[in-house]
Amino acid sequence: MAQQPIEDYALLGDRNTAALVGRNGSIDWLCLPRFDSPACFAALLGTEEHGHWQFCPVEEFETTRRYVGNSAALETTFTTSTGSVTILDVMPIGDGRADVVRHITGVTGTVLMRHEWVVRAAYGKVRPWVHRRHVDELEVIVAVAGPDQLALRGPRLPHAVDHAHRDEFEVSAGDELTFSLTWVPSWVELPASIADRPLIEETIRESETWTSRCRQDVPHRDVVVRSLVTLRHLTHSATGGIVAAPTTSLPEDFGGERNWDYRFCWLRDASLTLEALVAGGFTEEAGLWRDWLLRAVAGDPEDLQIMYTVDGSRELPERTLDHLPGYADSRPVRIGNGAVDQKQSDVLGEVMIALDVARRAGLETSQDAWHLQRALVDDLATHWQEPDNGLWEIRGPLRHFTHSRVMVWAAFDRGIRAAQDHGFECSLDRWIEIRDAVRAEVLERGFNAERNTFTQHYDTTEVDASLLVLPLVGFIEGDDPRMLGTIAAVENDLLRDGFLLRYRTESGVDGLAGDEHPFLACSFWLVSALVAAGRLDDAHRLFDRLVALVNDVGLLAEEYDPINRRMAGNFPQAFSHLTLVQAAFRLAAAD
């Protein structure tokens, strides 16, 4: 089984973890019980021997698929010369369990189906102890390895063949078969089967109820709603932590080293995700995220990290999994993320903007949240002049990145706004003085008058797509001549086949080998910047082009390769979906 294109996958999720299932009916990625747990199916980054779970016809087939309504329940239909079969894949939510349910229905004729179940612990490295036993008088296959226990249930269980389990069976029109996979700790008794139709229907109904509140007056509303559903399924339901993506090491440069683990909660990405959800009318997530923030960053403000695990833990050391060949032979495969120790000054600005947005959306004012906010801004006031690694996690020398400096301005600006609007106590005069000093510095050192453009950092004339954010956070008007010059420079220097790069990698600023493809979030930022500049027709045309890139079930990866017309990077990517949502609502407001 060859690796499928990234865009051939769809997301399943229970808001605690997520799975990727391909058009061929194979679940090739699943970490249980949490987004950042070790994978039990890791074929996505290797071969089928590293773990997968597949149902598909034995003979050649064509595939169509869709999500059921606005849920994360996926319906895949296989059509062959002898008939057609539909598989409904769902991970039930709200019951505190970790299950995948696969319901097979015969639609027409008779189809010979193949079933393959290959379980591996520790990202495909460890073969578990697999045995059959009876639970509630029904036979199940149980795989145990260390702390993990997985049970496969179904009306017809596959047979052990060469460290895998395989079977073939016929499905005729009207037949229905339900299989389920359940994870529990290895020292816990297996619970009862969860494979019942009412629970699946309740999972679908709950999601439909949630999405019904989304505004109607947005362009491409179906894609916007799917993006919001995706962002919700990247949010841990218990802790409130929001992961950047459910995958690790899907390459930005096929065959290269730009492979990163995104299964963690970047303060920046989480803050931006919250803003997108609030813009869509979903305010209850704001309180959950704020509580996660209070727990994660509790303590000394100097200990603030740019990312945490979904439960707020601070330890996520980066290491490589050398037993995995990587997606499209892209090595190394990484888990953990070494950027955790980087200094990224923009992060605090994003957090302050998100807290401001949440308050304005009606989130109840919290003294605890304000005390945290005040402590963080006071700490920033002591080192606001220091250089950093920038939002792109540049693994080169620290610099004064213009975007970072603007977000420092935003941190003080939103802190000042909160104090003035709510009567909170703070060092107001000092904050105002620093805010104004930061703005004056950026306008002097982060702007190149000769080119009439803001620059990537203070020591270059290069531009960076992050400069498009300046009007979006209120630093400068979108139609200011300096911003119009910046947009023109970004379009001239960074557009590739109509899509936007983050920056020119050939400048050597990031210290990494290889190249990368256009970054989808940057192109959506360009849409928003064009709206702010008054170029609405251009903004709509670009937005329409970008929306056309979503795969058949409305999902986007981190990057897009316009030459080979395929997605690249981790998938689905919160940054891509949240900037899509923000651009859609800015277009709607302008229209």
Does residue 514 register a pLDDT over 90?
no
> Do 175 and 118 sit in the same domain of this protein?
yes
The token duo for 326 is: 């990587």
The confidence score (pLDDT) of residue 11 equals 98
Asked whether the CA dihedral 365, 406, 558, 259 is positive or negative, the reply is: negative
The confidence score (pLDDT) of residue 286 equals 77
Is the distance from CB of 357 to CB of 285 less than 8 angstroms?
no
Does residue 429 register a pLDDT over 90?
yes
Q: How far apart are the first and last CA of the chain?
A: 48
Q: What are the pLDDT digits (tens) for 5-42?
A: 999 999 999 999 999 999 999 999 999 999 999 999 99
> Do 146 and 16 sit in the same domain of this protein?
yes
> Do 315 and 351 sit in the same domain of this protein?
yes
> Do 230 and 198 sit in the same domain of this protein?
no
Averaged pLDDT of the chain? 93
Q: Is residue 367 part of a domain?
A: yes
> Do 331 and 443 sit in the same domain of this protein?
yes
Q: How far apart are CA 504 and CA 515, in angstroms?
A: 9
Is the distance from CB of 271 to CB of 279 less than 8 angstroms?
no
> Do 301 and 444 sit in the same domain of this protein?
yes
Tally Cβ neighbours within 10 Å of residue 353: 23
Total domains, the chain: 2
Question: Which of the four pLDDT bands, split at 50, 70 and 90, describes residue 510?
Answer: low
> Do 234 and 166 sit in the same domain of this protein?
no
Among 399, 379, 407, smallest CA distance to 303 is for 379
- Which of 207, 227, 252 is where one domain is finished? 207
- Which of 157, 182, 207 is where one domain is finished? 207
Q: What is the arithmetic mean of pLDDT over 84-100?
A: 92
Does residue 506 register a pLDDT over 70?
no
The confidence score (pLDDT) of residue 199 equals 81
> Do 178 and 294 sit in the same domain of this protein?
no
CATH number for the domain spanning 150: value is: 2.70.98.10
The token duo for 515 is: 């190249």
For residue 497, which amino acid is it?
Answer: D
Q: What are the pLDDT digits (tens) for 282-340?
A: 888 778 888 888 888 877 778 888 899 999 999 999 999 999 999 999 999 999 998 88
CATH number for the domain spanning 273: value is: 1.50.10.10
- Which of 172, 207, 242 is where one domain is finished? 207
Q: Is residue 552 part of a domain?
A: yes
Q: Is residue 454 part of a domain?
A: yes
Domain extent for 147:
6-207
Q: Is residue 1 part of a domain?
A: no
Q: What is the arithmetic mean of pLDDT over 96-120?
A: 96
The confidence score (pLDDT) of residue 488 equals 98
> Do 502 and 463 sit in the same domain of this protein?
yes
Q: How far is CA 347 from CA 24, 269, 390, 442, 558, in A?
A: 40, 9, 9, 17, 19
CA atoms within a 13 Å half-sphere pointing along the CA-CB vector of 449: 3
Is the distance from CB of 321 to CB of 333 less than 8 angstroms?
yes
What are residue 74's DSSP bridge partners? 67, 89
Is the distance from CB of 411 to CB of 478 less than 8 angstroms?
no
> Do 346 and 415 sit in the same domain of this protein?
yes
DSSP structure string for 8-40: GEEEEE-SS-EEEEETTSEEEEEESSSTTSPEE
* ∠ Cα 217 218 220 (to 5°): 130
The confidence score (pLDDT) of residue 508 equals 56
Q: Is residue 450 part of a domain?
A: yes
Looking only at the bridges linking them, the beta strands covering 52-57 and 98-118 are antiparallel
The confidence score (pLDDT) of residue 126 equals 97
Does residue 505 register a pLDDT over 80?
no
> Do 118 and 259 sit in the same domain of this protein?
no
Question: Which of the four pLDDT bands, split at 50, 70 and 90, describes residue 137?
Answer: confident
Does residue 84 register a pLDDT over 80?
yes
Does residue 456 register a pLDDT over 80?
yes
> Do 141 and 237 sit in the same domain of this protein?
no
What are residue 567's DSSP bridge partners? 560
